[in-house]
Amino acid sequence: MDAGGGEQLSLAAVRDQLIREEDSIVFALIERAKRPRNAPAYSAAAGCGSVAEFFVREAQVLHAKAGHYQKPEDVPFLSQDLPPPVFPTKGYPKVLHPFASSVCVNDAIWKMYFNELLPLFTADGDDGNYAETVALDFACLQALSRRIHCGKYVAEVKFKDAPQDYSPPIRAKDNNALMNLLTFTAVEEKVKKRVEKKARIFGQNVTLEDSVGKPHGDTCDSHCKVDPKVLSKLYDIWVMPLTKDVEVEYLLRRLN
Ligand SMILES: O=C(O)C(=O)C[C@]1(C(=O)O)C=C[C@@H](O)C=C1
């Protein structure tokens, strides 16, 4: 994570990074929405998995060889054993507990993305462009996974800021108490509003005839490339809960 790249890890810096990750997620969804659902890309062919599974497995091998998946927030999908980097990698500051690398909720992200989210922001239909489609899916999955696994840094900062509050529920393995401690409802409300607004702004059609000062409200949402409400729903029921699961899972091992 950039916020861990040398300067002091702080809640403000980690939250800034989460805000930046929102841009990647909104843009990735806007890109994927260019193509219809293209359901055949997700059904298994005889003997091998789907086009989507094939693409993700092969793309991850290439990414790993190029030096990806070295940081705790960059976690591969499909529990894959990946080759080492071909080139020397720079390394990253070890600000997290060593267990961080084993905290992974990618199976839940995968199921959520293909079963729940995709139908909410892609049009019904099949245009046959499966290779392009699954490359766009891969970008969405990576952006979501990276954001959600940044929860490891959030958890570390929260623990370091208040070890006296977090240590007792960690020792008692009290998931609910940890979940309550790390939840900030007011922050979550702001996050939902901001991603909705980003979808509204990033997803509008830009023409030279745009009139200055035109309101960007619910009235124009039908013209947005991805429905802004889908973004707030995505964050409300999946992205933030999964980030909190990562935080709890990390914290539970923090004193080991
Ligand atoms: O900002 C935090 O404190 C976080 O833990 C991150 C996050 C989020 O996923 O955006 C998750 C839980 C909090 O309730 C608020 C926001």
Q: Which of 22, 159, 184 to mutate to test the pocket of ligand 1 (most atoms within 8 A of CB)?
A: 184
Q: Which amino acid is at 233?
A: K
Express each pLDDT in 102-147 by its tens digit.
Answer: 999 999 999 999 999 999 999 999 999 999 999 999 999 999 999 9
Express each pLDDT in 36-87 by its tens digit.
Answer: 999 999 999 877 799 999 999 999 999 999 999 999 999 999 988 999 999 9
pLDDT number for residue 222 = 82
Ligand 1 centroid distance, CA of 23 (Å): 17
Q: In this structure, what token pair is assigned to residue 50?
A: 């789907």
Domains within the chain, CATH numbers bracketed: 2-252 (1.10.590.10)
- Label residue 211 by pLDDT band (50, 70, 90): low
Per-residue pLDDT at 219 exceeds 90: no
Q: Are 155 and 253 in contact (CB under 8 A)?
A: no
ipTM of the complex: 0.99
Q: Are 230 and 122 in contact (CB under 8 A)?
A: no
Residue 171 CA to residue 174 CA, distance in Å, equals 8
Evaluate: CB of 89 within 6 angstroms of ligand 1: no
pLDDT number for residue 4 = 47
pLDDT number for residue 79 = 85
Going by C-alpha positions, the residue among 180, 187, 223 that lies closest to residue 202 is 223
Q: In this structure, what token pair is assigned to residue 192?
A: 């939902």
Q: In this structure, what token pair is assigned to residue 130?
A: 């499966």
Residue 187 CA to residue 190 CA, distance in Å, equals 5
Evaluate: CB of 178 within 6 angstroms of ligand 1: no
pTM of structure: 0.94
